[in-house]
Structure 1
Amino acid sequence: MRTLLTFVLAGCAAATAGATEPAAAVSSLPADLSASIERVRLPGGEPMGLVGTSLVFELAPGWWVGPALYGAATGHRGGLFTWGVEGQRRWQLAPRWQLGAGLYVGGGGGASAPVGGGLMLRPHADLMFDFGRWSAGVSAAQVRFPSGTIRSSQLGLQVSVHDAFAFAGPGHDGQSLAFAGAGGLGLQRISVQLGRYGASGSEAGFDTVGVRADRPAGRWLETTLEAAGAAKGGASGYAEFGAGLLALWPADARVRVGLHGALGLAGGGGVATGGGTFGKLGAVGRVSLGRDATLELEAGRVRAFTGDFNARYVQLALGVALGASASDTAPGPSFKTVHDTEWALSVEHYVRAQRKTGGAPSLDAIGLEVRRSIGGGFYAGGRALSAMRGGAGAYSVGLIGLGAGTRFGADRAWSAGAEAMVGAAGGGGVDSSGGAIVQPMAWAGHRMGRFGSLKLALGYVKSLHGGLATPVVDLAWAVDFGTP
């Protein structure tokens, strides 16, 4: 286990520590957003459809790295999720044919699947045909949980959409730079959501907390990506991930109204989502609170396609505008204010993880972290973690919050700061009853090359309604850059 984690972190370090600053203030990397589907065989021959998504970047010719998520989509294991990091090596066989080999390393579980501690490995090979702006092909993969009993080899289908990731080097926070397009991931807005799902049959309602990112797709149309988890009620461990379309039309200068629909994967916490796929449709009203902030109210219905979950929902969202807009499709560069941004891959150790059945053995989780400067040394951030060791494979966490940091030393290579985050956690028998948790952290870091840094954080995680209360230690490899 330690050897595998060392390999993952060392790979990220090698990709960034030796990087040099681009000659221009703004540079760009090829990026692929991919989706895959395959049929996994669980012990006893039980079939399960597994859907995966990844966002990978070409850090060196032929070498791609980025975050990835996998979840159950058919069968009886709705709520099984893992997330982690994907690394790939690609070779061009012919002008339109490409062969790839890769490895996914992540953590998670759920739906009582025999995942052991939660570590998931997925070595794979892909044969893809390029259609121009997108490609499609077949994959041969093995899904394996080393500390569990799942080990399945199968063929699958994969589709990738080609894009570009424009960024500035670190140290340009607050400056105005020219971007030929949206810059970054092209996001227009990010929102924090508080929701309520009503009762579904004999199941009681529950509260959720989540985030949603919007990307412009036209004058009145936006694409959305969202994630949420149960924070209060009897569904601790429930999580959902979805993608959708949001259409808004102006009612007056400050108000827009419209519809939002999304499809995705959901389950856990005893919620009857069947195989895991769900859809939701609601009416939306958005009010502008000023130049950058919005308040949004959405109400509608959510339904599992192969389970009994069918409920009304309402959610309130506070949104903050980012750099992208519908006008970014116009030719020529546009000047945008840059914000220092950090992405990190981490391994987090819970000294004690109190269980519902008694006892408090330790656990380790793999995490993905994002932080973005909001000025004055402060930043907004989010973290997602899933257990990979400790016998709590289904335990997952989603956090959002605020922090502050500073750089010091003769070459400003050292940094330190603190943050406070709130969110939802559950699954794996960990006593996070209801789901809501808080996690304050203090951290220190040292720059390793132009873009990379190694960070150590100490903190404490506390469930608001359950017995979970433990010190935590977090080791992360972070990549720093600037985006609009």
Structure 2
Amino acid sequence: MTRILGAATALALSATLAATPEVQAQGFEIETGIERIASPNTRIEGLHRLYVGRRITPYFSIGQGIYSSALGDAGGAFFWGFEGVAHLSLSERLSLGLSGFIGGGGGAAQVVGNGTMLRAGLSLDYRLSPAWDLQFTASWIRIHGAPIDGPAFGLGMRYRLDERHGGDLGGPEFDAVAVVATRYQPASGVRRRSGGAQPALSLVGARAYFDISDRTQLSFGAAGAAQGAQGYMQIMAGARRRFEMGRMSFFLEGRAGYGGGGDVDTGAGLLLEASAGVSIAMTRRFDLALSLGAIAAADGDFRAASISLGFVRAFNRARTGDTDGQRWALSTGLSFQQTAPSFFIAPGNPNSVVSMQETSLDYFIGERLYVTGNAQTTVAGGVAGYALGLVGLGYEIPVTDRLTLSLEGHLGAAGGGGVNTNGGIVAGLRAEIDYRVGEAWRVSVGVGRLQSVRSGGMSPTTLTVGAKIPFTTHR
């Protein structure tokens, strides 16, 4: 789980918003594609891009992007952060896209120092349908701490949820969200990148599911290693076919995505996975799912059998008395960690503050009690590749009409960048004050403490600043 539940919260759950009926009319868009770096000087020869943004004008959206190694031999290099995209119409079918990204990350031993990534992008978009565009892309990518500072070219797709068409372009409907634990048992003879035998991996992550028919779902999720490969992370999308039998349903699923880190040999990063399983409705809202499968890297040595257990919150079943809908809150901003000698594996590191960008999603299970997921990755501080993935409980206390106090407890994993997480498992407490600026969003400031569970590791004081957007789904 080290490198993150991160994308799980930042994008899997942002993608949840993009297909949620209550917010479709606000206008969301998703862009994805692969770009080859023109003159690669590292094992990172190309990047996969995934962007989820909300339009704030008819022509401009802002959101988050995640970039992962897709070409070369650097599976495990991930970068994510803030991105804005503008589109200018040239004709009925052609438009010009302009984008800017700032974020951070690292991995695959290819980035040192801050890990800050900047990208300026240009695309020529050809409209295939009211919802889909084909994109021809060019960009300039600069990564601080790696010899990457030059052009890249590629192909992509753009998917729109467009208020001009009534917010319904025939896209999938958000159906469920799940917390999933997975155990990978590598096949005999599978080796690490460094050459030793690959041990078993235990992963924890989150997934979002979208209905496209009565029996077919699309899924998107991310997971990170909690045991066996500190620093391993994967981001996967797929399709599932269900066969209902009363309270039980059997399913077949295929998934593809990118992963690496933690010395796992995923080659360029592309992963392919197939599984079969059973889901049991435990209550009207919650399911328990068990699946067996296999995963393999397309051009790396990694291949393994898998067993997964998922705890699923279903939304689209018949609901009685749920007229108020489901409350959520999406937060994004910057977090700062005050370091000390125990913060670093190498105590001589002189940095005193590490800067992170973070995203949280809160799911209310009561009037004030909520479950939260939090993802962070470094943008400055000399710890390229450092990232966190946290889950926890929070309690919201109204103070005045505009001020709200929130108290949160977290448990999760962290690692990378030479930070001494002493095994990877961390816990923390945080208090936040939110000031309501308008009906749609709040300004948030928080202070807290984060500490490795095992003694002798990092224990920084944290300060967070950002924005919080409350919303409601499935009324």
- Give me the TM-score of the superposition, normalised by structure 1: 0.84
- 2:41 counterpart SS class: helix
Larger mean Cα displacement after TM superposition, 339-348 or 279-288? 339-348
Q: Distance in 2 between matches of 1:301 and 1:139?
A: 34
Q: Is 1:187–2:174 an aligned residue pair?
A: yes
Kept after mapping to 2: 8 A contact 1:42/1:151: no
Q: Distance in 2 between matches of 1:277 and 1:180?
A: 33
The equivalences for 1:442-461 within 5 A come to 442-461=431-450
Q: Distance in 2 between matches of 1:470 and 1:462?
A: 7
Match of 2:234 among 235, 240, 244: 240
Kept after mapping to 1: 8 A contact 2:220/2:237: yes
Q: Distance in 2 between matches of 1:114 and 1:197?
A: 27
Match of 1:438 among 396, 410, 427: 427
Q: Deviations over 1:237-293 (max 9, x none)?
A: 100000011222123x21111222210000001111111111111121111111001
Deviation of 1:108 after TM superposition, in Å, equals 0.9
Q: Deviations over 1:108-160 (max 9, x none)?
A: 11101135312111111111111222111212201112454321212221211
Q: Is 1:348–2:335 an aligned residue pair?
A: yes
Which stretches in structure 1 are left out of the alignment for 5+ residues? 1-24, 167-178, 328-334
Q: Distance in 1 between matches of 2:409 and 2:163?
A: 29
Superposition CA RMSD, Å: 2.5
Number of the residue aligned with 1:281: 274
- 2:61 counterpart SS class: strand
Kept after mapping to 2: 8 A contact 1:116/1:145: no
Match of 1:338 among 322, 325, 340: 325
The equivalences for 1:132-281 within 5 A come to 132=129, 133-146=131-144, 148-164=146-162, 186-200=173-187, 201=190, 202-233=197-228, 235-251=229-245, 253-281=246-274
Q: Distance in 1 between matches of 2:86 and 2:472?
A: 26
Q: Deviations over 1:422-471 (max 9, x none)?
A: 22222212222443222221111111222221111112222234722222
Q: Is 1:100–2:97 an aligned residue pair?
A: yes
- Supply the AA of the counterpart residue of 1:51: H
Number of the residue aligned with 1:127: 124
Number of the residue aligned with 1:471: 461
Taking a change above 3 Å as real, the CA distance of residues 458 and 204 of structure 1, as seen in their structure-2 partners, is same
Taking a change above 3 Å as real, the CA distance of residues 144 and 336 of structure 1, as seen in their structure-2 partners, is farther
Number of the residue aligned with 1:9: none
Kept after mapping to 2: 8 A contact 1:74/1:275: yes
Q: Distance in 2 between matches of 1:310 and 1:432?
A: 28
Q: Is 1:321–2:314 an aligned residue pair?
A: yes
Q: Distance in 2 between matches of 1:272 and 1:387?
A: 24
Q: Is 1:87–2:84 an aligned residue pair?
A: yes
Number of the residue aligned with 2:9: none
- 1:28 counterpart SS class: helix
Q: Aligned pairs, how many? A: 435
Q: Distance in 2 between matches of 1:61 and 1:115?
A: 39
Q: Is 1:365–2:365 an aligned residue pair?
A: no
- Supply the AA of the counterpart residue of 2:330: W
Taking a change above 3 Å as real, the CA distance of residues 306 and 367 of structure 1, as seen in their structure-2 partners, is same
Kept after mapping to 1: 8 A contact 2:183/2:202: yes
Taking a change above 3 Å as real, the CA distance of residues 117 and 467 of structure 1, as seen in their structure-2 partners, is same
Larger mean Cα displacement after TM superposition, 69-78 or 194-203? 194-203
Kept after mapping to 1: 8 A contact 2:161/2:167: no
- Supply the AA of the counterpart residue of 2:29: D
- Supply the AA of the counterpart residue of 2:230: S
Kept after mapping to 2: 8 A contact 1:32/1:57: yes
Q: Distance in 2 between matches of 1:46 and 1:426?
A: 22
Number of the residue aligned with 2:301: 308
Q: Deviations over 1:373-395 (max 9, x none)?
A: 22221122211111111111111
Kept after mapping to 2: 8 A contact 1:459/1:471: yes
Match of 2:399 among 387, 397, 408: 408
- Give me the TM-score of the superposition, normalised by structure 2: 0.86
- Supply the AA of the counterpart residue of 2:142: R
Number of the residue aligned with 2:381: 390
Q: Is 1:59–2:56 an aligned residue pair?
A: yes
Q: Distance in 2 between matches of 1:403 and 1:92?
A: 44
Number of the residue aligned with 1:73: 70
Taking a change above 3 Å as real, the CA distance of residues 374 and 165 of structure 1, as seen in their structure-2 partners, is farther
Q: Distance in 2 between matches of 1:182 and 1:318?
A: 30
Kept after mapping to 1: 8 A contact 2:111/2:385: no
